[in-house]
A and B are shown apart, each in its own frame.
Chain A
Protein backbone atom coordinates (compact mmCIF):
# COMPACT_ATOMS: atom_id res chain seq x y z
CA UNK A 1 0.00 0.00 0.00
CA UNK A 2 1.47 3.32 -1.05
CA UNK A 3 1.64 6.37 1.20
CA UNK A 4 -1.17 8.03 -0.75
CA UNK A 5 -3.45 5.02 -0.32
CA UNK A 6 -2.69 4.99 3.40
CA UNK A 7 -3.52 8.71 3.61
CA UNK A 8 -6.75 8.12 1.71
CA UNK A 9 -7.94 5.44 4.12
CA UNK A 10 -6.87 7.49 7.14
CA UNK A 11 -8.75 10.56 5.87
CA UNK A 12 -11.81 8.44 5.02
CA UNK A 13 -11.84 7.05 8.55
CA UNK A 14 -11.57 10.55 10.04
CA UNK A 15 -14.33 11.91 7.78
CA UNK A 16 -16.76 9.06 8.40
CA UNK A 17 -16.09 8.96 12.14
CA UNK A 18 -16.48 12.70 12.72
CA UNK A 19 -19.60 12.84 10.53
CA UNK A 20 -21.07 9.87 12.39
CA UNK A 21 -20.41 11.54 15.72
CA UNK A 22 -21.78 14.85 14.44
CA UNK A 23 -25.15 13.53 13.30
CA UNK A 24 -25.86 11.81 16.61
CA UNK A 25 -25.04 14.72 18.94
CA UNK A 26 -27.91 16.24 20.91
CA UNK A 27 -26.00 19.48 21.37
CA UNK A 28 -26.14 21.39 18.08
CA UNK A 29 -22.92 23.33 18.72
CA UNK A 30 -21.01 20.07 19.23
CA UNK A 31 -22.49 18.67 16.03
CA UNK A 32 -21.34 21.72 14.06
CA UNK A 33 -17.80 21.53 15.46
CA UNK A 34 -17.51 17.82 14.62
CA UNK A 35 -18.73 18.60 11.13
CA UNK A 36 -15.98 21.22 10.75
CA UNK A 37 -13.47 18.41 11.40
CA UNK A 38 -15.21 16.34 8.74
CA UNK A 39 -14.98 19.17 6.21
CA UNK A 40 -11.30 19.73 6.99
CA UNK A 41 -10.78 16.03 6.28
CA UNK A 42 -12.65 16.40 3.00
CA UNK A 43 -10.45 19.35 2.07
CA UNK A 44 -7.33 17.26 2.63
CA UNK A 45 -8.92 14.48 0.58
CA UNK A 46 -9.48 16.94 -2.30
CA UNK A 47 -5.83 17.90 -2.07
CA UNK A 48 -4.84 14.24 -2.18
CA UNK A 49 -7.05 13.67 -5.23
CA UNK A 50 -5.36 16.52 -7.09
CA UNK A 51 -7.64 19.51 -6.55
CA UNK A 52 -5.73 22.12 -4.49
CA UNK A 53 -8.05 25.00 -5.41
CA UNK A 54 -11.09 23.01 -4.32
CA UNK A 55 -9.33 22.10 -1.08
CA UNK A 56 -8.86 25.80 -0.35
CA UNK A 57 -12.46 26.57 -1.32
CA UNK A 58 -13.71 23.75 0.90
CA UNK A 59 -11.88 25.16 3.92
CA UNK A 60 -12.91 28.76 3.20
CA UNK A 61 -16.54 28.22 2.25
CA UNK A 62 -17.66 24.95 3.84
CA UNK A 63 -15.61 24.79 7.04
CA UNK A 64 -15.42 28.56 7.30
CA UNK A 65 -18.49 30.41 6.08
CA UNK A 66 -21.24 27.80 6.13
CA UNK A 67 -20.38 26.28 9.48
CA UNK A 68 -19.98 29.71 11.09
CA UNK A 69 -23.43 30.58 9.77
CA UNK A 70 -24.76 27.42 11.44
CA UNK A 71 -23.00 28.35 14.68
CA UNK A 72 -24.60 31.81 14.63
CA UNK A 73 -28.06 30.32 14.24
CA UNK A 74 -27.40 27.72 16.94
CA UNK A 75 -26.40 30.53 19.28
CA UNK A 76 -29.49 32.56 18.39
CA UNK A 77 -32.02 29.81 19.02
CA UNK A 78 -32.57 28.33 22.42
CA UNK A 79 -33.37 24.64 22.64
CA UNK A 80 -35.66 24.00 25.54
CA UNK A 81 -37.18 20.57 24.90
CA UNK A 82 -34.76 17.64 24.69
CA UNK A 83 -35.25 15.68 21.52
CA UNK A 84 -36.90 12.30 21.69
CA UNK A 85 -34.76 9.18 21.12
CA UNK A 86 -33.30 9.16 17.64
CA UNK A 87 -35.13 6.11 16.32
CA UNK A 88 -38.43 5.07 17.86
CA UNK A 89 -38.99 1.32 17.82
CA UNK A 90 -41.73 1.58 15.19
CA UNK A 91 -39.26 3.13 12.73
CA UNK A 92 -36.43 0.72 13.45
CA UNK A 93 -37.59 -1.96 10.99
CA UNK A 94 -38.11 0.34 7.98
CA UNK A 95 -34.81 2.03 8.74
CA UNK A 96 -32.98 -1.30 8.84
CA UNK A 97 -34.64 -2.44 5.61
CA UNK A 98 -33.64 0.82 3.90
CA UNK A 99 -30.08 0.51 5.13
CA UNK A 100 -29.71 -3.10 4.03
CA UNK A 101 -31.18 -2.35 0.58
CA UNK A 102 -28.83 0.64 0.18
CA UNK A 103 -25.80 -1.44 1.13
CA UNK A 104 -26.87 -4.37 -1.08
CA UNK A 105 -27.36 -2.17 -4.15
CA UNK A 106 -24.02 -0.47 -3.49
CA UNK A 107 -22.31 -3.83 -3.17
CA UNK A 108 -23.89 -5.03 -6.44
CA UNK A 109 -22.76 -1.89 -8.24
CA UNK A 110 -19.21 -2.43 -6.98
CA UNK A 111 -19.03 -6.10 -7.93
CA UNK A 112 -20.32 -5.51 -11.43
CA UNK A 113 -18.37 -2.31 -12.06
CA UNK A 114 -16.04 -2.11 -15.03
CA UNK A 115 -12.53 -3.47 -14.44
CA UNK A 116 -10.99 -0.03 -15.02
CA UNK A 117 -12.62 1.15 -11.77
CA UNK A 118 -10.68 -1.47 -9.83
CA UNK A 119 -7.14 -0.43 -10.71
CA UNK A 120 -5.55 2.27 -8.51
CA UNK A 121 -5.93 5.82 -9.80
CA UNK A 122 -2.93 7.65 -11.22
CA UNK A 123 -2.26 10.80 -9.25
CA UNK A 124 -2.53 14.08 -11.13
CA UNK A 125 -2.83 17.68 -10.07
CA UNK A 126 -4.97 20.43 -11.60
CA UNK A 127 -3.05 23.53 -10.59
CA UNK A 128 -5.20 26.52 -9.61
CA UNK A 129 -4.02 28.53 -12.64
CA UNK A 130 -4.88 25.83 -15.16
CA UNK A 131 -8.13 25.00 -13.40
CA UNK A 132 -9.21 28.64 -13.21
CA UNK A 133 -8.51 29.20 -16.91
CA UNK A 134 -10.39 26.01 -17.77
CA UNK A 135 -13.34 27.06 -15.60
CA UNK A 136 -13.71 30.49 -17.18
CA UNK A 137 -13.04 29.24 -20.72
CA UNK A 138 -15.38 26.24 -20.73
CA UNK A 139 -18.00 27.01 -18.11
CA UNK A 140 -18.40 30.78 -18.24
CA UNK A 141 -22.17 30.57 -18.66
CA UNK A 142 -22.54 28.37 -15.60
CA UNK A 143 -20.38 30.84 -13.65
CA UNK A 144 -22.72 33.65 -14.64
CA UNK A 145 -25.74 31.59 -13.64
CA UNK A 146 -24.13 30.78 -10.29
CA UNK A 147 -23.46 34.47 -9.67
CA UNK A 148 -27.08 35.25 -10.56
CA UNK A 149 -28.17 32.51 -8.13
CA UNK A 150 -26.09 34.08 -5.37
CA UNK A 151 -27.66 37.49 -6.05
CA UNK A 152 -31.17 36.00 -5.94
CA UNK A 153 -30.30 34.22 -2.69
CA UNK A 154 -28.99 37.45 -1.17
CA UNK A 155 -32.24 39.23 -1.97
CA UNK A 156 -34.33 36.24 -0.90
CA UNK A 157 -32.60 35.90 2.46
CA UNK A 158 -33.02 39.63 3.07
CA UNK A 159 -36.72 39.40 2.22
CA UNK A 160 -37.36 36.37 4.43
CA UNK A 161 -35.52 38.06 7.26
CA UNK A 162 -37.43 41.32 6.86
CA UNK A 163 -40.96 39.99 6.40
CA UNK A 164 -41.31 39.10 10.04
CA UNK A 165 -40.64 42.54 11.44
CA UNK A 166 -43.13 43.98 8.96
CA UNK A 167 -45.81 41.54 10.07
CA UNK A 168 -45.10 42.17 13.71
CA UNK A 169 -45.19 45.93 13.57
CA UNK A 170 -48.98 46.31 13.63
CA UNK A 171 -49.21 43.88 16.58
CA UNK A 172 -46.79 45.67 18.86
Chain B
Protein backbone atom coordinates (compact mmCIF):
# COMPACT_ATOMS: atom_id res chain seq x y z
CA UNK B 1 0.00 0.00 0.00
CA UNK B 2 1.64 3.26 -1.05
CA UNK B 3 -0.35 6.49 -0.91
CA UNK B 4 -3.71 7.61 -2.28
CA UNK B 5 -3.68 8.63 -5.95
CA UNK B 6 -4.69 12.14 -4.87
CA UNK B 7 -1.35 12.66 -3.17
CA UNK B 8 0.50 11.78 -6.36
CA UNK B 9 -1.66 14.33 -8.17
CA UNK B 10 -0.87 16.96 -5.52
CA UNK B 11 2.87 16.37 -5.97
CA UNK B 12 2.51 16.54 -9.74
CA UNK B 13 0.43 19.73 -9.55
CA UNK B 14 2.88 21.48 -7.24
CA UNK B 15 5.82 20.46 -9.42
CA UNK B 16 3.99 21.73 -12.50
CA UNK B 17 3.30 25.02 -10.73
CA UNK B 18 6.99 25.42 -9.86
CA UNK B 19 7.89 24.83 -13.52
CA UNK B 20 5.25 27.32 -14.65
CA UNK B 21 6.58 29.89 -12.18
CA UNK B 22 10.10 29.37 -13.49
CA UNK B 23 9.04 29.67 -17.15
CA UNK B 24 6.93 32.80 -16.59
CA UNK B 25 8.96 34.76 -14.06
CA UNK B 26 12.61 34.27 -14.98
CA UNK B 27 14.02 36.62 -17.60
CA UNK B 28 16.51 34.17 -18.97
CA UNK B 29 16.04 31.90 -21.97
CA UNK B 30 17.90 28.99 -20.34
CA UNK B 31 15.75 29.19 -17.20
CA UNK B 32 12.60 29.25 -19.34
CA UNK B 33 13.68 25.98 -20.97
CA UNK B 34 14.43 24.54 -17.52
CA UNK B 35 10.88 25.47 -16.47
CA UNK B 36 9.52 23.59 -19.48
CA UNK B 37 11.54 20.54 -18.47
CA UNK B 38 10.14 20.70 -14.93
CA UNK B 39 6.58 20.89 -16.30
CA UNK B 40 7.11 17.87 -18.57
CA UNK B 41 8.57 15.98 -15.63
CA UNK B 42 5.52 16.81 -13.51
CA UNK B 43 3.28 15.42 -16.25
CA UNK B 44 5.39 12.25 -16.28
CA UNK B 45 4.91 11.82 -12.52
CA UNK B 46 1.14 12.11 -12.95
CA UNK B 47 1.20 9.52 -15.75
CA UNK B 48 3.18 6.98 -13.74
CA UNK B 49 0.82 7.46 -10.79
CA UNK B 50 -2.20 6.97 -13.04
CA UNK B 51 -0.59 3.87 -14.52
CA UNK B 52 -0.41 2.39 -11.02
CA UNK B 53 -3.89 3.56 -10.12
CA UNK B 54 -5.59 1.74 -13.00
CA UNK B 55 -2.98 -1.04 -13.22
CA UNK B 56 -2.45 -0.32 -16.93
CA UNK B 57 0.92 0.12 -18.59
CA UNK B 58 -0.25 2.72 -21.11
CA UNK B 59 0.59 5.51 -18.69
CA UNK B 60 4.17 4.32 -18.48
CA UNK B 61 4.31 4.00 -22.29
CA UNK B 62 3.28 7.65 -22.55
CA UNK B 63 6.10 8.65 -20.21
CA UNK B 64 8.59 7.14 -22.67
CA UNK B 65 7.21 9.46 -25.34
CA UNK B 66 7.24 12.40 -22.93
CA UNK B 67 10.95 11.79 -22.36
CA UNK B 68 11.57 11.61 -26.12
CA UNK B 69 9.68 14.87 -26.68
CA UNK B 70 11.52 16.53 -23.78
CA UNK B 71 14.88 15.53 -25.22
CA UNK B 72 14.02 16.82 -28.70
CA UNK B 73 12.49 20.02 -27.33
CA UNK B 74 15.56 20.79 -25.26
CA UNK B 75 18.02 20.19 -28.09
CA UNK B 76 16.18 22.46 -30.52
CA UNK B 77 15.50 24.99 -27.77
CA UNK B 78 19.13 25.20 -26.73
CA UNK B 79 20.22 25.52 -30.36
CA UNK B 80 17.83 28.48 -30.64
CA UNK B 81 19.17 29.95 -27.38
CA UNK B 82 22.69 29.76 -28.76
CA UNK B 83 21.55 31.41 -32.01
CA UNK B 84 19.87 34.18 -30.00
CA UNK B 85 22.95 34.57 -27.85
CA UNK B 86 25.22 34.99 -30.85
CA UNK B 87 22.83 37.49 -32.31
CA UNK B 88 22.29 39.73 -29.28
CA UNK B 89 25.11 38.78 -26.92
CA UNK B 90 22.69 37.97 -24.11
CA UNK B 91 20.12 35.37 -23.10
CA UNK B 92 17.56 37.96 -22.04
CA UNK B 93 14.30 37.56 -24.02
CA UNK B 94 13.73 41.33 -23.80
CA UNK B 95 17.04 41.97 -25.51
CA UNK B 96 16.03 39.65 -28.34
CA UNK B 97 12.77 41.55 -28.70
CA UNK B 98 14.52 44.90 -28.99
CA UNK B 99 17.39 43.90 -31.26
CA UNK B 100 15.33 41.57 -33.43
Q: Does A97 contact B (CB under 8 A)?
A: no
Q: Does A153 contact B (CB under 8 A)?
A: yes
Which chain B residue has the least Cβ–Cβ distance from A150? B72
A164 CA to B31 CA, complexed, in Å? 23
B residues sitting closer than 8 Å to A (CB atoms) are: 1-11, 13-15, 17-19, 21-22, 25-28, 30-31, 33-35, 37-38, 41, 44-45, 48-49, 51-53, 55, 57-58, 60-61, 63-65, 67-72, 74-76, 78-83, 85-87, 90-92
What are 25 A-B contacts with C-beta separation under 8 Å?
A: A4-B2, A4-B3, A12-B11, A19-B19, A22-B22, A28-B30, A31-B34, A35-B34, A35-B37, A38-B38, A49-B48, A57-B64, A61-B71, A62-B41, A62-B67, A73-B81, A76-B82, A84-B27, A110-B10, A120-B3, A121-B1, A121-B49, A130-B57, A139-B61, A150-B68
Decide: B60 and A58 in contact? CB cutoff 8 A: no
Partner of A135 from B52, B64, B70 at Cβ < 8 Å: B64
Q: Does A149 contact B (CB under 8 A)?
A: yes
Q: Does A74 contact B (CB under 8 A)?
A: yes
CB-CB under 8 A for A121 and B37, given A8-B3, A23-B21, A83-B26:
no
Decide: B78 and A46 in contact? CB cutoff 8 A: no
Contacts of B25 in A (CB 8 A): 86-87, 91, 95
Q: Does A66 contact B (CB under 8 A)?
A: yes
Q: Does A37 contact B (CB under 8 A)?
A: no
A15 CA to B56 CA, complexed, in Å? 25
A139 CA to B44 CA, complexed, in Å? 17
Partner of B22 from A23, A46, A54, A76 at Cβ < 8 Å: A23
Decide: A120 and B4 in contact? CB cutoff 8 A: yes
Partner of B76 from A38, A99, A138, A153 at Cβ < 8 Å: A153
